[in-house]
Amino acid sequence: MSLYVMKFGGSSVGDIERMKRVAGRIADKQDEGHRCVVVVSAMGDTTDELIDQAKQLNGQPPAREMDMLMTTGEQISVALLSIAMSGIGRSAVSYTGWQAGFRTDETHGRARINDIDPRRVLESLERGQIVIVAGFQGMTVDGEITTLGRGGSDTTAVALAAAIQADVCEIYTDVDGIYSTDPRIVKTARKLNEISYDEMLELANLGAAVLHPRAVEYAKRYQVKLVVRSSFNHNEGTVVKEEASMEQGVVVSGIAYDKNVARISILGVPDVPGVLAQVFGKLAGEGVDVDIIVQSGVQDGKADFSFTVALSELAHAKKVIEGLHSELPYREVTSEDNLVKVSIVGAGMVSHPGVAAQMFDVISKEGVSIKMVSTSEIKVSCVIESGNLQKIIQALHTAYNLDTEEQAFVGGPKDRR
């Protein structure tokens, strides 16, 4: 008998029929002899509808009140799922985030979990009940209701799994698991049986929307064994854990891409100390996240440098740079918005030098030029023109021996939380 935490996202409980299917799924797990704690998100579009109503009343609704509003979505889900469980003869109990013991800081809208007191959850398990906990929410020491922000329900599941020392934390979603790359782009993409926390973290940060990086960090910190699997079928899914038992000989585990990339270049900048700090300090102060930064060599006391920002922030970032002109006498600012960032990720890279060189070689053999490069211990990213995305991902996928014969399963819309 194992203790499972099972997390179901909003699309998995999007309507009454899906809710029933999830209830059946949990009952199956219990029938296998396991104890179950379930974490659920708000149903389908509930959250968007609530936000829409709030915006009609107030263009800038206070974060505290938005938390009061939004947390009802998960409370409805847990109550209905508990009602569904008892409808099929199972003893179940639902808890809000605060009832389940989630104590957070006071940052409404994106609160951090301070600690979890899972006493009531454990007591209910003792009584043989299936425990259903609202994801995405908690309470401050002053009794204020908070939400955990993006990735909040995944984080709830992982943190709760750590707090109650669950054997496994299963993340049910609308895809079969973690893929070697996006199956919509590469038909021969293969589902990974295992992946390390670090690899998952890189993939999640690179835009693989299946798991939120925050939840992966939490899982890594508390060594929670994660399984990502589909709520629509019984396929095995992907195990995320420490790398010790990783598959042998795999250098690159997955290939990710990010279309939300734009490049800004500042040309002819005086090469004096503190210039980079000035530019990127200003951008950070304006809330613009910068990803890759490349500085060219200095000529005649002037340097060029380029960096990437999210495409959606390009206009804002350019305005910030233009506003700096009086203090920073650069020659010219240019930008490009038809870009994509392709990344290879693999824990095996650490011990295999030359992986980056191989990537550059594959890309150049396809006649595509690399605009920018960035590397980490287990990742190499190249920025290329977006028109080449499919060709390059396919070529890399084949070059790193990731192709499979199977046809990938790709489900419905991605879960938001």
Name the CA dihedral angle for 106, 110, 115, 117, rounded to a multiple of 10 degrees: 100
| By the rule CB under 8 A, 41 interacts with its own copies | no
| By the rule CB under 8 A, 61 interacts with its own copies | yes
Is the Cα dihedral 157, 162, 163, 164 positive or negative?
Answer: positive
Q: Is 9 annotated as a binding residue?
A: yes
Q: Is 302 annotated as a binding residue?
A: no
Distance CA 19, CA 81 (A): 6
| By the rule CB under 8 A, 76 interacts with its own copies | yes
| By the rule CB under 8 A, 21 interacts with its own copies | no
Binding segment for its own copies (CB under 8 A), chosen from 94-102, 107-115, 168-176, 395-403, is: 94-102
H-assigned helices in 252-410? 275-285, 314-323, 355-365, 389-399
- Least CB distance from residue 48 to its own copies, whole Å? 14
Q: Is 10 annotated as a binding residue?
A: yes
Q: Hunting for tokens 């980490």 — which residue is that?
A: 376
Of residues 219, 176, 227, 169, the one with CA closest to residue 198? 219
Distance CA 286, CA 119 (A): 43
Q: Is 232 annotated as a binding residue?
A: no
Question: Is 370 in contact with 307 (CB distance < 8 Å)?
Answer: no
Distance CA 60, CA 42 (A): 22
Q: Is 179 annotated as a binding residue?
A: yes
Nearer to its own copies, 64 or 316 (CB): 64
| By the rule CB under 8 A, 94 interacts with its own copies | yes
Of residues 371, 377, 387, 384, the one with CA closest to residue 356? 377
User: Residue 252 has which token pair?
Assistant: 């690159």
Provide the 10 A C-beta neighbour count for residue 116.
20
By rule CB under 8 A, what string of x and - marks binding of each residue 265-304 to its own copies?
----------------------------------------
| By the rule CB under 8 A, 129 interacts with its own copies | no
| By the rule CB under 8 A, 71 interacts with its own copies | yes
| By the rule CB under 8 A, 140 interacts with its own copies | no
Which letter, b or e, does each residue of 400-413 get, where b requires 16 or more Cβ atoms within 10 Å of its Cβ? bebbeeeebbeeee
Binding segment for its own copies (CB under 8 A), chosen from 51-59, 172-180, 201-209, 225-233, is: 51-59
| By the rule CB under 8 A, 53 interacts with its own copies | yes
Binding segment for its own copies (CB under 8 A), chosen from 68-76, 108-116, 225-233, 314-322, is: 68-76
Residue numbers in the known binding site for ATP are 7-10, 173-174, 179, 184
Residues that bind its own copies (CB under 8 A): 16, 19-20, 23, 50, 53-54, 56-59, 61-62, 64-66, 68-69, 71-72, 75-76, 78-80, 82-84, 86-87, 92-94, 96, 99, 120, 143, 145
